[in-house]
Structure 1
Amino acid sequence: MVDSWLRPALTDPSEAALEIMRLSLVDWLACGIAGVSEPVAQITRSLALEEGGTAQATLFGGGHVPCRAAALVNGATSHALDYDDTHFAHIGHPSVAVIPAALAIAQSQGAGFDAFLRACLAGCEASIRFGVLLGRGHYQVGFHQTGTAGAFGATVAACQLLGLSEFQMAQALGLVSTRASGLKSQFGTMGKPYNAGIAASNGVEAALLTARGFESNPMALAGQNGFLPTHHCDGEEAAPEGWFMEDISHKFHACCHGLHAALEALEGLKPFDPKRVRKVQVATHPRWMTVCNQLTPTTGLGAKFSYRTVIALSILGYDTAALGTYDDALMADARVVALRNLVEVADDATLSETEARVSVTTKTEHHASFDLTAPLDIAQRRQKIRRKAHSLVGDDRIWLAVEQGDFPNLISLM
């Protein structure tokens, strides 16, 4: 069963999937470079540099450390802002778990840009496919798919760059199944981006051990007492065709992706005077109620998981795409608190996970809805991601390095 789900990720990719992977690479780099000053990035980086070891791979913010440590730090750093790509088929963030693992192994092996990009795509596709296989029950019970499914994707990318056989990859996936971890209880803390780093590091470790002859149970995924039967998995057994990566979603608001549909719906109702707002009602899929419905966050990080707060910020004219908006002090601002208290959030099982409905009451009621799966053509996506990267790092150097396939320059920008 697992083999049929994974195999499509190891075939020759479509041009559309490769193009989306390039855009996700730009997005990942920009998020990582912009995230280097975040506490989780500083703490993990200082630990890696303090421990030292063979200089195999580059860290965001500078420095070279062993592959496992680099994957851990770069995974946590790139997810620190919670601004990276998402795939709703498994409610996870593929790039932050897979690209750090691929980058570390690619550097250590002297791989070129094309091999690196293709390994990233194979790993991200595998991560999403494992996430769909794990199913909604796995996520709903409390597992963070970025950490769990992401570890399998990171392993696939690392194995491909190491040139391991299918048998060896099966061994590595069996091995990482005993390491894959990550809990939703960490949301709103440094533990959430740490989950991404753990996934990346676990994938690197499993692949490197396997390359050295380490043996594991290749049935540790689906066999008796394996990962699937012990981790509340309820996914479909029939593997779908095509490339899931073609449907990846990129963030254009600097907060949890579960909030974006509501923010986009609200944009469709503007402009209106915040002083005239009497009530705001948000309807969302029930799944998001335990993910991003913090009622009274006191930190900027917590605000990134709060419908009431981001809706209040948006109505007051704050740019929800700007990193500086999610400031601890702003969470205590009287205007923000007062407007936040006018926002009501309710679940609606008739909505999909990518939809939201917003109603704003002033003198009259105004209604709008939005679905994140609404078509966004490749030209629009390229424009939005280039603008986002420029906003995060201040220039187009990341965009140009990826467009030109300039791997050494790409690494130097970190």
Structure 2
Amino acid sequence: MRGAARAADDRGGRPGLAGRLAGFACRATPTESALATMRLSLFDWAACAIAGAAEPAAAILRAQAEAEGGAGQASLAGSPAMRVPARAAALVNGAASHALDYDDTHMGPVLHPSVAVLPAALAVAERQGAGGAETLRAALVGAEIMVRLGLWLGPDHPGRGFHPTATCGAFGAAVAAGLLAGLDAGRMEQALAIAATRAAGLQSVFGSMGKPLNAGTAAAAGIEAADLAAAGFTCPPAALDGPQGFGPAHGGAARSEALLSLDARWEMARVSHKLHACCHGLHAMLEALAGLDLPASDIDRVTVRTHPRWLAVCDDPAPTTGLEAKFSYRLTAAMALAGRDTGDPATFSAAACTEPALVRLRDRVDVVGDRALPETAAQVDVTARGGATTRLVHDIDTPLPPERLRRRLEAKAGVLAGAERAATLAAATLADVPDIAEVGRLLREAPA
């Protein structure tokens, strides 16, 4: 532990960021509202993983894991007869759950907590024989730290091209895995330091198989960091926030206000669950368009106003693949105007990108950046052929009532996993104490 001691001495004996987060992780007492949100996220994540297991990216990674084999520790989505090492399972299940880009998002740092943290938590829980309550708490604490790190880094981190789901996700996964492996605060600090030199992921791969891979590698890196720390591996805690550490090297702003309320407020209670099978930046627009009562044939022009940060993420003007379509304001607006179900992943296809009726509608849509709008809101002006304009506004930061959200997520799971499997999954995940063994079984039996 010589490196850790030297790092503490250099700060005058004060713990750095890794030490503060490790201490919080080991003492945290989640609120019931945060736990309730985490149950919804577990349900939603597992439905996404079941559906995503059949995607090409997941199939390739699963085949690799099956070929490599190893200790039968954890369930592999889409592989009913085989278990694999926890790290391999987290890689595959993380990628499968993010393959459809339909999982939850925290709109503060704009990252996807569940696809990085839950695959690690589930895999280590299966390996360790952990119960549902223990697993849920570990996942929630890991996801909270992932979100807080995203807020601590600030907008310049993704602005430089880093993918916060991947980078921050490695830390959240390390915390979840470390709690389930029984790490104390000192070992947890080491796990976070190790994760600092393993965390990676770029936004340049959005719209390709590389984006879901980012989620899987974050989950796997987190398990690796926790297991190494448990074995006595050491790394300087300053690797997270010290000179040349992860934060300074990755455009981090070190926003101290992100950590002020660690013991008082749970950011994960504010997570948003996707109700459309595309980039979360498009959802405010789609929810706004749901209020339009005008046939597509009567539409002359559509102007979408959104915060400029989304223009670098989901403003592909003319996508050609299903993955690219999930990042296109113009095409998804056309889908909504044409009455297509944007809650069904099958809607986002290469065929839809070239369908004449959708292309004609797409070409009537203009997208404009507007810094006066919150990052969670969109304003849509729809001009009819007769000249009348209808203005529609929606902000996804306005939460749905809990029962309505649950009903919409249950409907979404029915589309993703089938009605019978979705009902079984809801029973396993939404109970006060989730049934981890049943979640693993449902993942293994996912259609592949």
Bin of the TM-score, shorter chain as denominator length: over 0.9
How many aligned residue pairs are there? 413
Report if aligned partners of 1:17, 1:243 keep a CA contact under 8 Å in 2: yes
Q: Which has the higher contact order (CA 8 A, sep 6+)?
A: 2
**1:7 Cα offset (Å):** 4.9
1:102 aligns with 2:124: no
* Residue number in structure 2 paired with 1:307: 329
* Residue number in structure 2 paired with 1:252: 275
Aligned with 1:282: secondary structure?
Answer: strand
**1:219 Cα offset (Å):** 1.1
* Residue number in structure 2 paired with 1:44: 61
* Residue number in structure 1 paired with 2:70: 53
* Residue number in structure 2 paired with 1:202: 221
- AA matched with 1:18: L
Looking at structure 2, the residues matched to 387 and 245 of structure 1 have their Cα atoms a distance apart, in angstroms, of: 23
1:282 aligns with 2:304: yes
Please give the TM-score of this superposition, normalised by the length of structure 1.
0.98
**1:393 Cα offset (Å):** 1.1
* Residue number in structure 2 paired with 1:164: 183
**1:377 Cα offset (Å):** 2.3
Report if aligned partners of 2:41, 2:114 keep a CA contact under 8 Å in 1: yes
- AA matched with 1:375: P
**1:140 Cα offset (Å):** 1.2
Looking at structure 2, the residues matched to 5 and 279 of structure 1 have their Cα atoms a distance apart, in angstroms, of: 50
Change (3 A) 1:151 1:42: same
Report if aligned partners of 1:5, 1:130 keep a CA contact under 8 Å in 2: no
Aligned with 1:272: secondary structure?
Answer: coil
* Alignment match of 1:261 (pick from 262, 284, 305): 284
- AA matched with 1:131: G
* Residue number in structure 2 paired with 1:402: 429
* Residue number in structure 2 paired with 1:331: 353
* Residue number in structure 2 paired with 1:118: 137
**1:36 Cα offset (Å):** 1.1
Looking at structure 2, the residues matched to 135 and 37 of structure 1 have their Cα atoms a distance apart, in angstroms, of: 35
* Residue number in structure 2 paired with 1:236: 255
Runs of 5+ unmatched residues, structure 1: none
* Residue number in structure 1 paired with 2:244: 225
Looking at structure 1, the residues matched to 430 and 156 of structure 2 have their Cα atoms a distance apart, in angstroms, of: 39
Report if aligned partners of 1:5, 1:240 keep a CA contact under 8 Å in 2: no
Looking at structure 2, the residues matched to 251 and 298 of structure 1 have their Cα atoms a distance apart, in angstroms, of: 23
Report if aligned partners of 1:136, 1:235 keep a CA contact under 8 Å in 2: no
- AA matched with 1:398: L
Looking at structure 2, the residues matched to 371 and 342 of structure 1 have their Cα atoms a distance apart, in angstroms, of: 23
Aligned with 1:189: secondary structure?
Answer: coil
Aligned with 1:103: secondary structure?
Answer: helix
* Residue number in structure 2 paired with 1:293: 315
**1:390 Cα offset (Å):** 2.0
Change (3 A) 1:260 1:9: farther
Change (3 A) 1:7 1:379: farther
Looking at structure 2, the residues matched to 255 and 225 of structure 1 have their Cα atoms a distance apart, in angstroms, of: 36
Looking at structure 2, the residues matched to 7 and 261 of structure 1 have their Cα atoms a distance apart, in angstroms, of: 37
**1:266 Cα offset (Å):** 1.1
Task: After superposition, give the CA deviation of every residue in 1:291-334 in whole Å (9 maximum; x if it has no partner).
Answer: 00001100111000000000001111111111111111121111
Aligned with 1:338: secondary structure?
Answer: helix
Looking at structure 2, the residues matched to 306 and 118 of structure 1 have their Cα atoms a distance apart, in angstroms, of: 36
Aligned with 2:305: secondary structure?
Answer: strand
* Alignment match of 2:155 (pick from 136, 156, 160): 136
* Alignment match of 2:408 (pick from 352, 370, 384): 384
Report if aligned partners of 2:383, 2:389 keep a CA contact under 8 Å in 1: yes
Looking at structure 1, the residues matched to 115 and 25 of structure 2 have their Cα atoms a distance apart, in angstroms, of: 18
Aligned with 1:278: secondary structure?
Answer: strand
**1:403 Cα offset (Å):** 2.9
* Alignment match of 2:205 (pick from 172, 176, 186): 186
* Residue number in structure 2 paired with 1:350: 372
Runs of 5+ unmatched residues, structure 2: 1-15, 444-448
**1:139 Cα offset (Å):** 1.1
